[in-house]
Amino acid sequence: MRIAAIDLGSNSLHMVLADTDQTGGFRVIGREKEMVRLGSRSLARGRLSAAAMRRAIDVLRKYRKVAESEGADKVLAVATSAVREARNGEEFLDAIGRELDIWPRAISGEEEARLIYLAALHSIHLEGRRALVIDIGGGSVELALGRGDAVEMSVSEKIGVLRLSEEIVKSDPLTTRNDTRLVKHLDAALKPHVERIKAAGFDVVVGTSGTILALGALALERGGEVPDTLHHAIVPASEIHTLRRWMAGSDVKARLKMNGLDEARADIIVPGAVLLDTLLQRVGAPEIVLCEWALREGILIDYIQRNPRAVARAEAYPDVRHRSVVSLAERCGYDEKHARKVAQLALDLFDATVRQHRLGASHRSLLEYSALLHGIGHHISYRGHHKHAHYLVKNGDLRGFAPMEIEVLAHVARYHRRQPRKKHVSFAALPRAERRAVLVLSAHLRLADSLDRSHRQVVKGLTVKTRGGALIVQAHVSGDTSLEMWGMPRQAELLSRALGKRVKVEIASASAVASFPRPSPALRARAGK
C-alpha cells in the first residue's frame, strides 16, 4: 500500500511517500519539504494570515499532485501548533478539504509528542534503552520520554523557534540582555518537565526536526567531523554548547556564510541553538543522537499500527478497486461464500449472453463488484437492506472508481432485489446508457442471486447452450435446490426481457436434465405486480 503522510508544521510543510510491506514496516520512496512559515506572526496574533494560508494551500496542491501521480492509496495529514492555536484554524482545514480533498487532523501537543516518539523508536537502535526524544519546531517544542512501546511522558511547550524569534529574539546579533531574557523564558517553560525527566532518568537523548538536524550538522562540522548521513550521528553536548556561544555572538551575515546552513533558517537558528543547549544542560545530557525521522514518519507508523488489516489487504489485492470493494464488504460482515458464488454465476451468465447485451469489460467488472457488495446492506438492518446497500456503495469510500461507475455499482447492488422502476427517482435520473447498464447488469445479478437463494452454494457451475432460438442455462447442482427453484423462473423471465432473447434455466445432474414444479399462473400473475 502506498501512503503519503503530510505534516503541516508552523515552520515547514513536509510530505513523505512510502510503501508498506508485509512485516508492518515501510520503505520511503520520496520526500518533499517546503518552508512555508505558516506560524509566522500568527502565533502571536492568534490568526493565520491569508498569505500564509495561500502559500500552504499552494504547496499542498503540489504535494497532492505528486501523491496522485505516484499512485498513493491514502493521504494522511496532520496540523500542529500554528493551526491548532489559530482562531481560524478550523476554517483553514475546511478550506484545504474543500479545495484539495485532503483532510488534515489538528492534533494536540501531547499527540504530536507521542507520534514523534514513535518515529524515533522505530528508526533509532534504542535496544530497550530509556529514550528522551526532543523535537524543536516552529511553534512548539515536543518532549517525550519512554522505554520501548511504553511512553511515560509526552508534552508540548509553546517555545518553538519561529515563536521565539518573532517574540523574544528581536535583535541580531543577540544582545546579552535578550539572551538572558530568552534563557529565563525557556527555563520557566521547561522547569516542570526537566524535573520530571531528571527524576525518571534516561539513557539516551534523541533529537528530531529540521532545526536540531541543522544544529547537529553545524556542530559536527565545526568539530571537524562530517558524517555521511546525519541519521544516528552522535553530537556531544559540549559541541552544541560551543556552537551556541558562537551563534549568540554572530550576525546574520556571518551565519549565512556557514557551510551547511539553509539560508531560510539563518534567523531562527539562533534561538534554536540557545534552546537546545539550555535543555541539554538542564537535563544533564552528555550527547544527542540525531534522527532524520520525525512527525511525518510517526504518522505513517501510527497508521500502520492502527490499520493492520487494511495494510495486509493491500498486499493481497494490489488492484485498488478490488481491494476497496473487499474492504467495504468485509467491514460490513458480508457472507463471503455466498457473495463469491453469486459473482461467479453472474459472470458466467454475463459471458454467455455477450452477444445479446454487448456490454464490455468495464461493465463486467462492475457486475462482479456489485455481486460482491449486494449483501452489505444487511449489516445495517434487514428491512430495506437493498437500499442500505445502495447508500453504502455510494458513500462508503470506494477507491479507484469514476463517479458514474459508483452510480452504476450502487444501483445494480440495490436492484439485486426487485427491479428498477422509472418511478424510482434516483434510477430515473441516470443517463440513458447507465440506465440500460443497470437494467441489464441487475437482471444478471438477480438471476445469479436466486441461484444461491439458500446460501449453500448448491449450484456448482453453469453451462449455456442454444436450443430452438433460446439460451438454455444448465445449472449443475449438488443438493436440495427447492429454494433456488422457487424464485428463479421469474428472474430468468426478467433476464429474457432485458436481453430480448429467451433464457431458460434447467437443472443438470449427471446425465439427466430434471425439470422443476412451475408455480401456478395465478402466482406468477401476482408476482408480476
Partner 1 sequence: MASRKRTLPQPAPPPPVVPVPAETPRPIAVVDMGASAIRLLVAEIPAGQPPRILEEVSRGVLLGKDTFTHGRLGSPTIEATLKALEGFRRLMDTYGVLRYRAVATSAVREASNSDAFLDRVRLRTGLDVEVIDGSEENRLTYIAVREELRDHPARDLGDALLVEVGGGSADISFLRKGQPIQSGTYPLGSIRMRQSLASWQGSHDQGARLLVRHIHNVVDDIRREMPLREASHFIAVGADVRFAADRIRGDTPKADVPVVTREAFIAFCDEVVAYDLEQIVDRYHLPQSEAETLVPALLAYRGLLLETVATEVIVPDASLRLGLLLDLAREGDGQGLEDLRRQALASASALGEKYRFDAPHARKVSEIAVRLFDQLRSEHGLSDKHRLLLEVAALLHDIGNYVNMRGHHKHTWYLLSVSDIFGLSQDDMDVVANVARYHRRACPAKSHLPYMALDRDARIDVNKLSAILRLANALDADHLQKVKDVRLLAEDGDWVLEVEGAGDLTMERLASLARADYLTEVFGRKVTFRERGRPWP
515 belongs to the binding site for partner 1 (CB under 8 A): no
Q: Count residues near partner 1 (CB under 8 A).
A: 40
Residue 32 bridge partners (DSSP): 15
Alpha-carbon distance of 340 to 373, in angstroms, equals 10
Distance CA 375, CA 387 (A): 10
Q: Which of 2, 14, 84, 114 binds partner 1 (CB under 8 A)?
A: 84
Which residue in 320, 380, 406, 472 binds partner 1 (CB under 8 A)?
380
Choose among 383, 189, 175: nearest CA to 278: 189
Among 28, 307, 391, 424, binds partner 1 (CB under 8 A): 391
Confirm or reject binding of residue 192 to partner 1 (CB under 8 A). no
Region near partner 1 per CB under 8 A, out of 207-215, 427-435, 439-447, 512-520: 512-520
> Which window, 230-238, 285-293, 433-441, 449-457, contacts partner 1 (CB under 8 A)?
449-457
**Binding pattern for the stretch 467-506 against partner 1, x by CB under 8 A and - elsewhere:** ---------------xx--x--------------------
Q: Which among 13-21, 165-173, 202-210, 519-527 is the span making contact with partner 1, rule CB under 8 A?
A: 519-527
Site for partner 1 in 200-259 (CB under 8 A): none
Nearer to partner 1, 216 or 396 (CB): 396
189 near 39, Cβ under 8 Å? no
DSSP secondary structure of 385-416:
HHHHHHHHHHHS---S--HHHHHHHHHHHHTT
Q: Where does residue 360 rank: exposed (0-12), middle (13-18), buried (19+ CB within 10 A)?
A: exposed
x/- letters, 406..445, toward partner 1 (CB under 8 A): ----------------------------------------
**CB distance 120 to 208 below 8 Å:** yes
Among 25, 46, 249, 400, binds partner 1 (CB under 8 A): 46
Q: Report in angstroms how near the CB of residue 372 gets to partner 1 at its nearest.
A: 17
Would you call 366 exposed, middle or buried from its count of C-beta atoms within 10 A (0-12, 13-18, 19+)? buried
Decide: is 392 part of the binding site for partner 1 (CB under 8 A): yes
Q: Which of 72, 106, 116, 205 touches partner 1 (CB under 8 A)?
A: 106
67 vs 89: CA distance, rounded Å? 24
User: Among residue numbers 144 through 163, which ones bind partner 1 (CB under 8 A)?
Assistant: 156
Angle of helix 432-450 relative to helix 403-414, nearest 10 degrees? 40
Asked if 13 and 59 count as a contact pair (C-beta separation under 8 A), the reply is: yes
Closest CA to 419 of 525, 494, 346: 494
Nearest to 124 by CA among 303, 284, 290, 236: 290
The β-bridge relationship of strands 204-208 and 287-290 is: parallel
189 binds partner 1 (CB under 8 A): no
In the bound state with partner 1, the residue whose beta carbon lies nearer, of 110 and 506, is 110
What does the binding site for partner 1 look like in residue numbers (CB under 8 A)? 46, 84-85, 87, 89-90, 103, 106, 108-110, 156, 331, 333, 378-385, 388, 391-392, 395-397, 453-455, 482-483, 486, 517, 519-520, 522-523, 526
